[in-house]
A and B are shown apart, each in its own frame.
Chain A
Amino acid sequence: MTVSRKIVLHFPAQVADRPIVCDLALRFGLAFNILRASISPHREGIMVMEIIGEGANQEKGLQYLREQGVLIESLSQDIRKNDERCINCGACVGVCPTSALFIEKPSFEVRFDGTRCIACEMCIMACPTFAMEALI
């Protein structure tokens, strides 16, 4: 069955310049969608992407990346809403491009749906109480 999942890849400096992500398509028949990518001054890279394909092929593809030294995390662990700090103001809702943050009615509480999050970190900028946290 074809499934889609979002993952965060951490590339160590020594592989940052190799096109290993393309191998996901070439060797394992996976489609991917890069949601966000950045390279730090020390040339470590972070890439947030969605991979689409057969579950078994996904596992093989990810295993291949791990062998190349890439660290893989699933996305929902990376952006978190700390409910202790959230005052339900809604300032984050206005900048979230995927409606991962939304106002639930009729309670008018602000909710976070990690499966829709692409880790753009806009909410982290917008939140006045630092309730939105990134773990990467």
Chain B
Amino acid sequence: MLRSYEEINQKIREGKAVVVTAEEVIEMVKEKGLKEVARQVDVVTTGTFGIMCSSGAFLNIGHTKPRMKISEAYLNGVMAYCGLAAVDMYIGATQPAKDDPLNKVHPGEFRYGGGHVIQDLVAGKDVLLEAYAYGTDCYPRKKLVTWINLKDLNEAYLFNPRNAYQNYNVAVNLSDKTIYTYMGILLPRLGNAGYSSAGQLSPLLNDPFYRVIGVGTRIFLGGGVGYVAWQGTQHNPSVERNERGVPKGGAGTLALIGDLKGMSAQWLWGVSVRGYGCSLAVGVGVPIPILDEETLYYCSVSDEEILAPVVDYSSAYPEGTGEVLGYVSYAQLRSGKIVIKGKEIPTFPLSSYQRAREIAQTLKRWIQEGNFELTRPVVNLPGVESGVRFKNLKERPVENYAGNLKG
């Protein structure tokens, strides 16, 4: 081992830590070699900025007079989940406004939803709360309409069950008509290809075996400080990997938590995805302590070495067949075109590489200025050896079901 967390933090406090981004470290290692750079560099910073649907925020609005146990609430017309204690609620990023026409006229616009509410709250705007309750002896009030503002709430924290996917699909469309997906507008007959990972800058692609990123890791989240809370939903460490340990498709994920009050609307951006729904674009940055040469080896991975599966979103993806049309590297994706089935296809990103870079740079500055110390994970995320595997639902038909099934 080259250095411990304590030694790194001591250097950060003294303003002596050597910090570089995951992009910068690639060239350094090529020039000087692993050994030399591992001796020099204390921390490598990563970043990613893209639409992360599994996002949301817990809010405690404070008690009303008389008291109220809210069972139904709307923030700027968007339903928040209230099956919690009296004045706690969770607003989910993909919840559309209650009067949204959805996809009745396809492809719907989804102009405002949970992600936009979160951005408005973080921006310091007043948000309209409309709440209802059935009334109890201790919580008699039944109705509430009021403006709320982030600064007046007791607690407001982002809790995202699944962020920062370790690699992801490249989406194409083999059908004859344009389709509207969460991977963007896909033109017919392999007209374009969308990809969504920050590749060589992406947090978990720089720590493929979850050696240093774990529960309790302090991170950049939405422009403020957050923590890794758990493995994210659909965490799937068992995906096939290449010789650098890089998974050849969507693998690990992170559940993240952080104080909304310290975040910024620049890094939590409400979005509307045509025909699909509303969501939230989230900025995440994770520091990687260079504890040994092995950590550096993994985080010096470059776009050429990261491959992503190309999947048809007109059929293979919605049907869940698992069929892969081929693999392409992020270097190819970022060049603007790939070749699939002998056809040259223009590519487009959905996550911003420019912003991912800005996040990695910002985190680097925070650490250099002594404002951000590193934490050792309390518990490691389930790794390859854990046997944890992503499962599809095993449907078990229910006979003679008399309930109120839709459709």
Spell out A's residues near B (CB within 8 Å).
Answer: 87-95, 103, 107-110, 122, 125-126, 128-130
Instruction: With CB as the reference atom, state the residue of chain B lying closest to A128.
Output: B271
Q: How far is the CB of B397 from chain A (nearest CB, A)?
A: 38
Report how far A110 CA is from B348 CA in the complex, Å: 11
In contact, A89 and B187 (Cβ under 8 angstroms) = no
Report how far A88 CA is from B267 CA in the complex, Å: 12
A/B interface sample: 25 pairs, CB < 8 A? A87-B49, A87-B281, A87-B352, A87-B355, A88-B352, A88-B355, A89-B281, A89-B351, A90-B352, A91-B185, A91-B194, A91-B348, A94-B194, A94-B346, A94-B348, A95-B185, A95-B192, A95-B348, A107-B354, A108-B353, A125-B107, A128-B279, A128-B281, A129-B271, A129-B272
Question: Mostly helix, strand, loop or mixed at chain B's interface?
Answer: strand
In contact, B354 and A108 (Cβ under 8 angstroms) = yes
B364 contacts chain A at the CB level, 8 A cutoff = no
In contact, A90 and B107 (Cβ under 8 angstroms) = no
Given the known inter-chain contacts A87-B352, A90-B352, A95-B192, please indicate yes or no for A128 contacting B273, CB distance below 8 A.
Answer: yes
Given the complex, which residues of B lie within 8 Å of A88, measured CB to CB? 352-355
In contact, A94 and B347 (Cβ under 8 angstroms) = yes
Q: How far is the CB of A20 from chain B (nearest CB, A)?
A: 33
Report how far A133 CA is from B49 CA in the complex, Å: 23
Q: How far is the CB of A66 from chain B (nearest CB, A)?
A: 35
In contact, A108 and B348 (Cβ under 8 angstroms) = no
Q: How far is the CB of B98 from chain A (nearest CB, A)?
A: 21
In contact, B347 and A89 (Cβ under 8 angstroms) = no
In contact, B187 and A95 (Cβ under 8 angstroms) = yes
Report how far A103 CA is from B195 CA in the complex, Å: 14
> Scoring B residues 326 to 346 as 1 if CB is less than 8 Å from chain A, else 0, what string do you get?
000000000010000000001
In contact, B272 and A90 (Cβ under 8 angstroms) = no
Q: How far is the CB of A118 from chain B (nearest CB, A)?
A: 16
Given the complex, which residues of B lie within 8 Å of A109, measured CB to CB? 354
Report how far A122 CA is from B281 CA in the complex, Å: 21
Question: Mostly helix, strand, loop or mixed at chain A's interface?
Answer: loop
Report how far A92 CA is from B274 CA in the complex, Å: 12
In contact, A126 and B184 (Cβ under 8 angstroms) = yes
Q: How far is the CB of A59 from chain B (nearest CB, A)?
A: 37
Q: How far is the CB of B112 from chain A (nearest CB, A)?
A: 11
Given the complex, which residues of A lie within 8 Å of B336, measured CB to CB? 103
Spell out B's residues near A (CB within 8 Å).
Answer: 49-51, 107, 111, 184-185, 187, 192-194, 269, 271-274, 279, 281, 336, 346-355, 357
Most buried by B among A87, A88, A89, A126: A89
Given the complex, which residues of A lie within 8 Å of B354, measured CB to CB? 88, 107-110
Instruction: With CB as the reference atom, state the residue of chain A lying closest to B349.
Output: A90
Report how far A90 CA is from B348 CA in the complex, Å: 6
Q: How far is the CB of B304 from chain A (nearest CB, A)?
A: 16
Report how far A93 CA is from B354 CA in the complex, Å: 14
Given the complex, which residues of B lie within 8 Å of A91, measured CB to CB? 184-185, 194, 348-350
Most buried by B among A91, A93, A130: A91
Report how far A110 CA is from B336 CA in the complex, Å: 13
B49, B51, B107, B348: the one contacting A128 at CB < 8 Å is B51
Given the known inter-chain contacts A108-B352, A109-B354, please indicate yes or no for A130 contacting B272, CB distance below 8 A.
Answer: yes
In contact, B192 and A90 (Cβ under 8 angstroms) = no
Q: How far is the CB of B345 from chain A (nearest CB, A)?
A: 10
Given the complex, which residues of B lie within 8 Å of A108, measured CB to CB? 352-354, 357
Given the complex, which residues of B lie within 8 Å of A122, measured CB to CB? 185
Q: A87-B49, A91-B184 are in contact. List 4 more A-B contacts (CB 8 A).
A: A87-B269, A90-B352, A91-B349, A128-B272
Report how far A35 CA is from B193 CA in the complex, Å: 25
Given the complex, which residues of B lie within 8 Å of A125, measured CB to CB? 107, 185, 274
Q: How far is the CB of B93 from chain A (nearest CB, A)?
A: 12
Report how far A93 CA is from B272 CA in the complex, Å: 16
Report how far A129 CA is from B355 CA in the complex, Å: 15
Q: How far is the CB of B366 from chain A (nearest CB, A)?
A: 21
Q: How far is the CB of B184 from chain A (nearest CB, A)?
A: 5
Given the complex, which residues of A lie within 8 Å of B348, measured CB to CB? 90-95
Report how far A90 CA is from B269 CA in the complex, Å: 15
B51, B274, B279: the one contacting A126 at CB < 8 Å is B274
Report how far A108 CA is from B358 CA in the complex, Å: 11
